[in-house]
């Protein structure tokens, strides 16, 4: 056995009646619980299992242990590393072996006040007197399990669909296990991988119920933050924890593996709480002055930082994209080879992914580049050019956005409508058709909430939202529409400012998925391009689109913070 007991700090709250309550660190928002539902189930305590901490949920699998690693040693070390709840999932054991394993595991879990559950087997849970069971859709009915188990036992249910969640609510389970969120080698899956968006939709059903939720399936220290950030409902209902098998069980050092996961979880929970406070307008109020001040500061910072910006862009605009990147003070590297993506992630300040002339063979590089950027908390700017034009593009965009988290998504009305799955605005090729959205500010705000990133909607008036604050910008000139790829070069400029903001952010770990202020950076990109466009169009050497492009690059290079302060037309939208 390993070190002396070291119960994780703040874990146990002794109750006045002598029972033990497990300390919850969940992310349910105030007002999220529905008091009338809570009142339906008075505590029938033999066990007092309220307030369970689902943050890091270990699901065992002894077949995954490294050679010579003892199961109980692994269990105890993983608890010392930060596991908050354990489920024994041992498919190969016969009943008496399973009961024996459960009894011995309970001694370890009790030492640290960690709840212990049994997968599938209510009989084993009863025999070993553990804290509850986890049931699958085809296991014993929840109602029957409740009748058999002591009052107050924990019952969790696996859910793969929204209708499973609705059913779980009716059955008044304590928590649900949503999965598989990613692909996994640990279990042969019988239902499709859910993905982060699917998990978000399922979490939305839980709002106000008091039922907790963990995600399971392929979660590891590399994709954990992406999982947490992506698995959030439109009203900000986040996961209460994650369930992990192989990343802990297969590790020769489960204490370290759990600690790595736990640190990410705890930091995210802190960050998410702050995000929710902003959401309620309690801090960080956006005003025209605060926007202008943030933008002008970034214009200075980019000149010092000179961030390297990795761009996977289309063949039509590659040269002019590299030129505008240089003009605003950043440095471009245009590269598509999958095998160099990870190296580039390390040296670059940010990544632009533009699908304008995408081919199937480009997908792998885009997947790797975005994933590596996420791991390193570097910004990913996504330009889904012409996504409405073909099912190939739609599938690519869906696959990419499921794989990694974008920090900014930029597009015209037709592109963003196609991405959001609405027919309110149609597109023709890469262009938008018609007069746009009835309520563009609300549209960008909602899309930003759904995609969990900043969204830039380009058009005669540009709209930008991070899901909390929304601004419209009324700068620009019609000549910008008469050169090819003005939208694409905007992507490069936004990526440059995002990279600068990320590099300037010296907080080591804010718990979020990106460093830097992506909202201000996106606004900076749009303002700088559109104001430079206005200045270029006024020049007497500009006779039309041909002479406009070089003049635009010159104006981008010489644009000052004072010009932006003087010429910007910003409106903060109160939605
Ligand atoms: C926390 C958690 N969530 C889901 C599952 C999967 O359970 P189930 O659907 O019963 O599949 P098996 O685990 O029995 O293969 C789980 N075990 N834990
Ligand atoms: C039990 C289970 N249910 C859905 S996925 C899964 C296995 C998860 O294992 P891992 O964390 O190793 O991917």
Cα distance between residue 497 and residue 309, in whole Å: 10
Contact 248, 261 (CB under 8 A): yes
Quick check: helix, strand or coil at residue 412?
strand
> How much is the pLDDT for 426?
76
Residues of 361-375 as b/e, b for ≥16 C-beta within 10 angstroms?
Answer: ebbebbbbbbbbbbb
Q: Which residues pair with 311 in a beta bridge?
A: 334, 352
H or E element that contains 525: helix 518-538
Distance CA 166, CA 155 (A): 16
Tell me how crowded residue 327 is: count the other CB atoms within 10 A of its CB.
22
CB 249 within 8 A of CB 65: yes
Can you list the pairs that 219-223 forms with residues at least 24 positions away whose Cβ atoms lie under 8 Å?
219/181, 219/182, 219/243, 219/244, 219/247, 220/244, 220/246, 220/247, 221/247, 221/257, 221/260, 221/261, 221/264, 222/371, 222/375, 223/182
Which of the residues 27, 109, 159, 488 is marked catalytic?
488
CA of 136 to the centre of ligand 1 (A): 6
What is the distance between the alpha carbons of residues 201 and 153, in angstroms, rounded to a whole number? 28
| Residue 278 pLDDT | 66
Instruction: Find where tokens 């400029």 sit.
Output: 493
Pocket lining: 512 vs ligand 2, CB cutoff 6 Å: no
For the chain, the 3-state helix, strand and coil shares in percent, each to the nearest 5, are 45, 15, 40
> For residue 177, which ligand has an atom nearest its CA?
1
Q: Is the CB of 241 under 6 A from ligand 1?
A: no
Interval between CA 209 and ligand 1 midpoint (Å): 22
Q: With 0-12 CB in 10 A as exposed, 13-18 as middle and 19+ as buried, what is 95?
A: exposed
Cβ neighbours of residue 570 closer than 8 Å, sequence gap 6 or more: 288, 291, 292, 471, 472, 473, 523, 527
Domain definitions of the chain by residue range: 56-270, 295-573
Q: At what angle do helices 413-420 and 440-451 cross, to 10 degrees?
A: 50
The response to whether residue 120 sits with its C-beta less than 6 Å from ligand 1 reads yes
Q: According to the model, what pLDDT value does residue 280 have?
A: 61
Atom number, ligand 2, closest to the C-alpha of residue 64: 12
For 255, other C-beta atoms within 10 Å of its C-beta total 20
Query: What is the atom index within ligand 1 of the atom nearest the CA of 179?
Result: 4
Q: What is the pLDDT of residue 283?
A: 56
Residue nearest atom 15 of ligand 1, based on CA coordinates: 187
Res 461: pLDDT: 96
Question: Judging by beta carbons within 10 Å of its beta carbon (0-12, 13-18, 19+), is residue 346 exposed, middle or buried?
Answer: exposed
**Ligand 2 neighbourhood includes 232 CB (under 6 angstroms):** no
Task: Report how far ligand 2's centroid is from the alpha carbon of 276 (Å).
Answer: 29
Nearest to 471 by CA among 444, 447, 496, 453: 444
Kindly state the helix (H) or strand (E) to which residue 152 belongs, with its residue range: none
Q: Whole-angstrom Cα distance, residue 533 to residue 149?
A: 71
DSSP secondary structure of 200-242: HHHHHHHTBT--EEEEESS--TTTHHHHHHHSB-TT--B-SEE
What is the CATH architecture of 56-270?
Alpha-Beta Barrel (3.20)
Nearest-atom number in ligand 1 for the CA of 138 is 10
Nearest to 379 by CA among 332, 309, 468: 309
Distance CA 320, CA 307 (A): 18
Nearest ligand to residue 184 Cα = 2
Asked if 81 and 255 touch (Cβ cutoff 8 Å), the reply is yes
The hierarchical CATH code for the domain 295-573 is: 3.40.1190.20
Q: Ligand 2 centroid to 218 CA: how many Å?
A: 6
**Closest alpha carbon to 156 in 186, 309, 164:** 164
Structure tokens at 499: 């990279």
Which stretches of the chain score pLDDT less than 70?
Answer: 1-50, 277-284, 430, 432, 507-508
**Which residues does residue 316 pair with via DSSP β-bridges, in sequence order?**
none
Q: Whose CA is nearest to atom 8 of ligand 2?
A: 217
Contact 497, 329 (CB under 8 A): no
Q: Beta partners for 472? A: 463, 571
Look at residues 503, 574, 493, 575 and name the one whose alpha carbon lies nearest to residue 533.
Answer: 493
In this predicted complex, what is the ipTM? 0.99
Distance separating alpha carbons of residues 72 and 54, to the nearest angstrom: 21
244 lines ligand 2 (CB under 6 A): yes
How many Å apart are CA 155 and CA 117, to the nearest integer? 8
Between β-strands 12-14 and 116-119, what pairing exists: parallel, antiparallel or unpaired? unpaired
CA-based diameter of the chain, in Å?
90
Is the beta carbon of 89 within 6 A of some atom in ligand 1?
yes
Task: Of 341, 381, 365, give the one whose Cα is nearest residue 487.
Answer: 381
The pLDDT assigned to 21 comes to 40
**3-state SS, residue 352:** strand
CA angle 512, 517, 521 (to 5 degrees): 140
Task: Establish whether residue 215 lines the binding site of ligand 2, counting it when its CB lies within 6 angstroms of any ligand atom.
Answer: no
What are residue 89's phi and psi, to 5 degrees? -120, 95
Q: Token pair 């000052």 is at which residue?
A: 560
In whole angstroms, give the CA distance from residue 540 to residue 435.
Answer: 32
CA separation for the pair 99, 124 (Å, rounded): 5
Where b means 16+ CB within 10 Å and e means fewer, 427-460 reads beebebeeebbeebbebbbbbbbbbbbbbbbbbe
Residue among 91, 96, 13, 79 nearest 52 (CA): 13
Closest-lying ligand 2 atom to the alpha carbon of residue 179: 4
Which of 56, 91, 134 is the pocket-test mutation for ligand 1 (most atoms within 8 Å of CB)?
134
Q: How many Å apart are CA 124 and CA 557, to the nearest integer?
A: 71
Is 488 an active-site residue?
Answer: yes
216 lines ligand 2 (CB under 6 A): yes
Query: What are φ and ψ of residue 433, in 5° steps?
Result: -115, 140
- In this structure, the residue with its CA closest to atom 5 of ligand 2 is 217
Using alpha carbons only, give the angle 276, 286, 421 rounded to the nearest 5 degrees.
Answer: 65
Q: Express each pLDDT in 383-398 by its tens digit.
A: 999 999 999 999 999 9
Phi, psi for 68 (deg, rounded to 5) = 70, 10
- Residue-wise pLDDT tens digits, 411-462: 999 999 999 998 888 777 767 677 789 999 999 999 999 999 999 999 999 9
136 in ligand 2 pocket by Cβ < 6 Å? no
What is the CB neighbour count within 10 angstroms for residue 2? 16
Q: Which ligand is nearest to the CA of 56?
A: 1
Indicate if ligand 2 lies below 6 Å from the C-beta of 292.
no
DSSP 575: -
pTM of the model: 0.86
Pocket mutation for ligand 1, best pick of 53, 61, 85, 119 (most atoms within 8 Å of C-beta): 119
**Cα 183 to middle of ligand 2, angstroms:** 9
- φ, ψ for residue 302, nearest 5 deg: -65, -35
- Please tell me the distance from the alpha carbon of residue 492 to that of residue 253, in angstroms, as a whole number: 43
């Amino acid at each position: 056995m390993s070190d002396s007991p070291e119960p994780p700090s703040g874990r146990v709250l002794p109750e006045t009646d002598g029972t033990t309550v497990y300390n919850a660190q969940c992310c349910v928002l105030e007002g999220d619980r529905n008091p009338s539902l809570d009142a339906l189930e008075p505590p029938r305590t033999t066990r007092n299992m309220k307030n369970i901490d689902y943050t890091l949920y270990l699901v065992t699998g002894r077949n995954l242990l490294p050679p010579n690693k003892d199961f109980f040693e692994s269990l105890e070390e993983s608890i010392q590393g930060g596991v908050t709840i354990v489920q024994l999932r041992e498919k190969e054991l016969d009943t008496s072996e399973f009961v024996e394993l459960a009894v011995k595991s309970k001694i370890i879990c009790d030492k640290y006040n960690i709840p212990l559950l049994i997968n599938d087997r209510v009989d084993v849970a009863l025999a070993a007197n553990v804290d509850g069971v986890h049931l699958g859709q085809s296991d014993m009915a929840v109602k029957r399990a409740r009748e058999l188990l002591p009052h107050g036992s924990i019952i969790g249910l696996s859910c793969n669909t929204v209708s499973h969640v609705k059913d779980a609510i009716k059955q008044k389970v304590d928590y649900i296990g949503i999965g598989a969120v990613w692909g996994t080698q640990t279990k042969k899956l019988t239902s499709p991988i859910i993905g982060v968006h699917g998990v978000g939709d399922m979490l939305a059903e839980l709002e106000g119920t008091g039922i907790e939720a963990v995600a399971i399936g392929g979660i590891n220290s590399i994709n954990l933050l992406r999982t947490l950030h992506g698995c959030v409902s439109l009203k900000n209902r986040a996961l209460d924890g994650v369930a992990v098998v192989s990343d802990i069980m297969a590790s020769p050092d489960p204490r370290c593996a759990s600690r790595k996961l736990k640190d990410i979880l705890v930091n995210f929970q802190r960050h998410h709480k702050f995000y929710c406070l902003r959401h309620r307008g309690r801090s960080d109020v956006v005003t025209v002055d605060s926007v202008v001040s943030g933008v002008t500061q970034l214009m200075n910072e980019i000149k010092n930082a000179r961030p390297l910006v990795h761009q996977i862009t289309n063949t039509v605009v590659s040269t002019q994209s590299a030129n505008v990147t240089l003009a605003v003070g950043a440095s471009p590297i245009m590269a598509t080879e999958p095998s160099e993506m990870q190296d580039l992630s390390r040296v670059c300040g940010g990544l632009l992914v533009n699908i304008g002339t995408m081919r199937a063979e480009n997908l792998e590089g885009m997947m790797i580049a975005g994933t590596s950027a996420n791991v390193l908390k570097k910004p990913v700017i996504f330009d889904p050019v012409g996504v409405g034009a073909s099912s190939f593009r739609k599938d690519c965009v869906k696959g990419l956005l499921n794989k990694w988290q974008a920090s900014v998504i930029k597009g015209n009305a037709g592109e963003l409508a196609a991405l959001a799955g609405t027919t309110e605005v149609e597109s023709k090729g890469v262009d938008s058709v018609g007069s746009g959205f009835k309520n563009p500010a609300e549209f960008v705000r909602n899309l930003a909430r759904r995609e969990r990133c900043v969204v830039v909607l380009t058009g005669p008036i540009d709209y930008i939202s991070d899901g909390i604050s929304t601004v419209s910008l009324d700068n620009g000139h019609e000549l910008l529409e008469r050169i090819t790829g003005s939208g694409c070069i905007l992507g490069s400029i936004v990526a440059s400012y995002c990279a600068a903001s990320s590099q300037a952010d010296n907080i080591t770990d804010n718990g979020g998925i990106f460093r830097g202020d992506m909202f201000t950076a996106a606004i900076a990109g749009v303002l700088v391009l559109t104001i430079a466009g206005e200045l270029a169009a006024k020049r007497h050497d500009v006779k039309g689109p041909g002479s406009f492009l070089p003049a635009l690059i010159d104006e981008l290079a010489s644009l000052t913070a004072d010009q932006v302060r003087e010429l910007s037309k910003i409106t903060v939208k109160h939605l």
